[in-house]
């Protein structure tokens, strides 16, 4: 093929084109087509060899033959490219037709690794609140006094600040506003409410998750724990919306449509009125607990899981929102606590022991479905 091309006279370009076109069209797979391309356009290919002969021609002839050869090269390259696309499509179609996927096979379990129960709960909360139209907001763990306390209507020196044992950090040098200068590890996720309202226009419909820090340590308290915060501000939001949303949330989370939910009046400086929310349970014979309503002869017991209320007008004003136009509710819930209740985990401190045996027992397979 190559020798005949080398010998080809410059006058039979048309018949060369015909011959090459025939070779290209006859290629039945991409490998054969690639061989043709190399024989024609490669370093020692037919057309390349002809191009080399241009150097021996006189200028006039070189000009004419050069144009003819370049046109031939372009046409052949275009033919190869379109044949290549057609062959690739044919090969893909054949592969798809022959390939069968057994959709009855169960997914392969992950070789290693478990989802931590805290992560699992957060995924579930995103799914429950996502279905109610909430989106996820975020804020920093290192906060200032303004976002963690002052904007949330904790006046300076007010005893309510003592409700949350705070880890303070060194002040920000050069900051003249004392509330912004004072740094701390956030004691609750309510600080994210302030950041979100400061930086966005109402209505607000968010949840946020995160680590929170308090100087606490026993079976139900650790110095670092997680909270989920919910904030809904719009025109005409009432306590009835708060009760409906919270009741739906806990019943969905605990998979129990008749789970008793109780609202008790309580004080938080950033809400008015404020409430603590309890869910009902009974003690069973073996010393364990069963979430739900008491049956005949059983004692109905209550467990506090979160704090809630209608956002205080002072908080709205601190974030530039007119409380006569917008109202809303907020609540904050300890994630470890609801996870312990749902999965029967007795000691909160074990969440953070990093014991692989604990995680193998309480953790979730990554491909396991949620229920
Ligand atoms: C608050 O932190 C309020 N910010 C909640 C709130 C938000 C009220 C919006 C009103 C409106 P409280 O201090 O009660 O409230 O904490 C809320 C939950 O965090 C508790 O119910 C508990 O589940 C959890 N919690 C508190 N301290 C600890 C701790 N040391 N370890 C583990 N969980 C804790």
171-190 pLDDT tens trace: 999 999 989 999 999 999 99
Q: What is the pTM of this model?
A: 0.71
Q: Are 334 and 249 in contact (CB under 8 A)?
A: no
pLDDT recorded at residue 9: 54
Q: Mean pLDDT over residues 254-283, rounded?
A: 95
pLDDT at 3 over 70: no
Calpha distance 329→116 (Å, rounded): 30
Which burial class, exposed, middle or buried, applies to 2 when counting CB atoms under 10 A from its CB (0-12, 13-18, 19+)?
Answer: middle
Query: Of the candidates 235, 211, 244, which has an alpha carbon nearest to the alpha carbon of residue 331?
Result: 244
d(C-alpha 197, C-alpha 320), whole Å: 8
pLDDT of 27 over the 70 cut: yes
State residue 152's pLDDT score: 97
| Residue 173 burial (CB count, 10 A) | 6
How many DSSP H helices and E strands does the chain contain?
13, 11
pLDDT of residue 5: 43
Contact 359, 116 (CB under 8 A): yes
- Region 338-350: what's the mean pLDDT? 90
Tell me the C-alpha distance between 265 and 320, whole Å.
Answer: 28
pLDDT of residue 318: 97
pLDDT given at position 159: 73
Q: Is the CB of 330 under 6 A from ligand 1?
A: yes
Say yes or no to pLDDT of 82 above 70.
Answer: yes
Residues 234/206, Cβ–Cβ less than 8 Å: no
Residue nearest to atom 5 of ligand 1 (CA): 332
Span 289-322, pLDDT tens digits = 889 999 989 999 998 999 999 999 999 999 999 9
> Is residue 277 classed as helix, strand or coil in its secondary structure?
strand
* pLDDT at site 6: 44
Question: Which residues 6+ apart lie within 8 Å of 238 measured at CB?
Answer: 310, 327
**C-alpha span between 22 and 78 (Å, rounded):** 14
Segment 268-280 mean pLDDT: 96
209/14: higher pLDDT? 209
What residues have CB less than 8 Å from 30, skipping those under 6 apart?
84, 87, 88, 91
Confidence of residue 1 (pLDDT cuts 50, 70, 90): very low
| Polymer length of the chain | 371
Contact call for residues 145 and 184 (beta carbons, < 8 A): yes
With cut-offs at 50, 70 and 90, classify the pLDDT of residue 162.
confident
Atom of ligand 1 nearest to the CA of 190: 4
> What is the pLDDT confidence band of residue 111, given thresholds at 50, 70 and 90?
low
> Which is the closest atom of ligand 1 to the Cα of 230?
9
Looking only at the bridges linking them, the beta strands covering 301-311 and 261-266 are: unpaired
Query: For residue 203, what pLDDT is reported?
Result: 97
Contact (Cβ atoms closer than 8 angstroms) between residue 226 and residue 334: yes
Other CB atoms within a 10 A radius of the CB of residue 5 amount to 19
What whole-number distance in Å separates Cα of residue 47 and Cα of residue 33? 16
In the reported structure, the alpha carbon of residue 365 is separated from the centroid of ligand 1 by a whole-number distance in angstroms of 29
Looking at residue 7, its pLDDT comes to: 45
Among 187, 190, 227, the mutation site with the greatest number of ligand 1 atoms within 8 A of its Cβ is 227
- How does strand 271-283 pair with strand 289-291? antiparallel
For ligand 1, the distance from its centroid to the CA atom of residue 212, given in whole angstroms, is 9
In this predicted structure, the answer to whether residue 160 has a pLDDT above a threshold of 80 is no
Name the class of domain 117-362.
Answer: alpha beta
Is 109's pLDDT higher than 80?
Answer: no
According to DSSP, the β-strands at 261-266 and 271-283 are antiparallel
Ligand 1 pocket check for 309: Cβ under 6 Å: yes
Mean pLDDT of 249-255: 97
Confidence of residue 221 (pLDDT cuts 50, 70, 90): confident
The percent of residues in the chain predicted with pLDDT above 90, rounded, is: 68
Looking from the CA of residue 329, the nearest atom of ligand 1 is 11
Per-residue confidence (pLDDT) for residue 355, from 0 to 100: 93
Instruction: List the one residue out of 71, 72, 58 whose CA is nearest residue 5.
Output: 72
Mode of pairing for the β-strands spanning 204-213 and 142-144:
unpaired
pLDDT band for 134, please (50, 70, 90 cuts).
very high
- Domain definitions of the chain by residue range: 3-98, 117-362
pLDDT of 195 above 50: yes
Contact between residue 252 and residue 128 where contact means Cβ atoms under 8 Å apart:
yes
Give every CB contact of residue 288 below 8 A, 6+ residues apart in sequence.
344
- Tell me which DSSP letter residue 259 carries: -
């Amino acid at each position: 093929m190559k020798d005949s091309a080398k010998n080809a006279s410059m006058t039979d370009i048309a018949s060369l084109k015909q011959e090459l076109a025939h070779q290209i069209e006859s290629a039945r797979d991409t490998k054969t087509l690639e061989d043709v391309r190399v024989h024609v356009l490669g370093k020692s290919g037919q057309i390349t060899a002809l191009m080399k002969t241009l150097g021996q021609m006189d200028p006039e002839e070189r000009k004419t033959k050069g144009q003819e050869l370049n046109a031939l090269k372009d046409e052949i390259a275009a033919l190869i490219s379109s044949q290549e696309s057609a062959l690739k499509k044919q090969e893909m179609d054949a592969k798809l037709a022959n390939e069968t996927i057994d959709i009855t096979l169960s997914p392969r379990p992950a070789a290693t690794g478990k989802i931590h129960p805290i992560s699992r709960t957060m995924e579930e909360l995103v799914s429950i609140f996502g279905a109610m139209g909430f989106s996820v907001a975020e804020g920093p763990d290192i906060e200032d006094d303004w976002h963690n306390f002052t904007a949330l209507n904790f006046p300076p020196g007010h005893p309510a600040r003592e409700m949350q044992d705070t880890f303070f950090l060194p002040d920000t040098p050069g900051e003249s506003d004392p509330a912004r200068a004072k740094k701390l590890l956030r004691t609750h996720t309510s600080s994210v409410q302030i950041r979100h309202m400061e930086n966005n226009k109402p209505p607000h419909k968010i949840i946020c998750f995160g680590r929170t820090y308090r100087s606490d340590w026993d079976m139900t308290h650790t110095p670092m724990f997680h909270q989920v915060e919910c904030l809904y501000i719009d025109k005409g939001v009432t306590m009835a919306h708060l009760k409906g949303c919270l009741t739906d949330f806990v019943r969905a989370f605990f998979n129990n449509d008749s789970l008793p939910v109780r609202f008790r009046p309580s004080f938080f400086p950033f809400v008015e009125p404020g409430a603590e929310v309890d869910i009902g349970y009974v003690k069973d014979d073996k010393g364990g607990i069963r979430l739900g309503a008491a049956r005949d002869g059983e004692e109905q017991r209550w467990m506090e899981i979160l704090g809630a209320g209608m956002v205080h007008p002072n908080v709205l004003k601190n974030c530039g929102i007119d409380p006569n136009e917008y109202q809303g509710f907020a609540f904050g819930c300890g994630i470890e606590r609801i996870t312990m209740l749902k999965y029967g985990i007795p000691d909160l401190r074990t969440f953070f022991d990093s014991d692989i045996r604990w995680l193998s027992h309480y953790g979730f397979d990554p491909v396991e479905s949620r229920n």
